[in-house]
Structure 1
Amino acid sequence: MGKAKKSALRLLPPDWRESIWTAASTPEWRQSRPQLLPALAVLWLTGCRPAELEQGIELVTGKDQLVVKITGAKCKDAGGRERGQPTRHIGFRTDADANAALRFLHALAGGNAVNGIGKCTITHNKDYLYNSVVALGRSAFPKLRTRISPYCFRHQVASDLKAATSDHDITLEDAAKFMGHLSDYSIGSYGHAAHGRKGRGGRVKAPFVSTARPIKHSPKVDRFARFKKASAKRRAVKPT
């Protein structure tokens, strides 16, 4: 399932999230499924897991910033060992470059602000969310042969982060924190840098991200980096 969602991004247009957002913003969808648009906004910004959305995503907003607190859904493996992040906080600036999802959540949390601080919690049943996103995908892209699911948002965010690390806009450690991973190697299972929002204004920049557990550096990351450099060097000297 993960590989299928990862490869599905190559079949989608660069602005597929905007198209899904536009479809969900129609009066018909907002009246019939009022919880959907806030959930989509959280998926777009954070790439959180559907199970984390079901537990509840906490928002805190100020004048020009939004902080999202996510309680991790995968914190232990079958053997009881530590896995992932119990909690992570991601901060965003709501400036002129903020996309529709960020502006929506900032306004939603700020609607009941007290002394300039607004708070709210976004939650959505994960199974109902899956069915809704699949239906939205079919509505927005009727000719598309692949299925758009909530995990496509997670793979897209990972792709954006990989593109950002390639451009040195974010460290691999912060990318791991953003995704809620315990190791900086885990993001390799998600997305492709080639599918990231590069130079299109769609990449969301987070001014800070923090996690409950420190990120573990994997030696596999260094080996993979050396392999990529060697491969690039071989391609450069290959006779035409």
Structure 2
Amino acid sequence: MVKKTVLTHPVLSTELRTQILGKNKRRQVGLFGGTFNPVHTGHLVMADQVGNQLGLDKVCFMPDATPPHVDKKSAIAAKYRVEMLAAAISGNPMFDLELCEVERGGISYSYDTVAYLKHKHPDTDYYFIIGADMVNYLPKWHRIDELVKMVQFVGVKRPGYTPRTTYPVLWVDAPKLEITSTAIRKRVANGESIHYLVPDAVAAYIEKEGLYRE
């Protein structure tokens, strides 16, 4: 009886095993920034659609400390906005929180944030999610020409906005829900229902903390 010779190569087998397990695969992570004052159902639908259509590993909700807009929003403390986000995303394993802007404080420039995250996670490709209405403002973004080389912008289509720009934007279709944080704050202040406009856990948190009453 002739014995079969089995050739082994520990280094090669380890490499193959690593490839099979996908350990060399770069992570694909969406960044969804905003004030989230408060987070609402429209935000969640938008993030879920982008994450699933692009096959992302994670979509990270990234609340800002101070929005870098000329018409600055009057936002409640980051503590409340972060806790509402945590409550809203708890049921979706694809969702996560990225708190680097809140922890850094001050005005949140996307260039600084992306540079920090790419340095911290060199194995990750980032997709910056924005609404179609925000695409028109890209020329005014801080260091935009450098930023577009660092991250893939994802524009979510919406009625009334033409999906056209000179910047490299990946366009995604998603149901558009006519819900705004401004309208929710007004409804709370007027004692009106926000049921289904925000997750139940967020509505309960707003009630418990007495937010947006004035």
> Normalization by structure 1: what TM-score?
0.27
Q: Where is the strand percentage greater, Structure 1 or Structure 2? A: 2
> Normalization by structure 2: what TM-score?
0.29
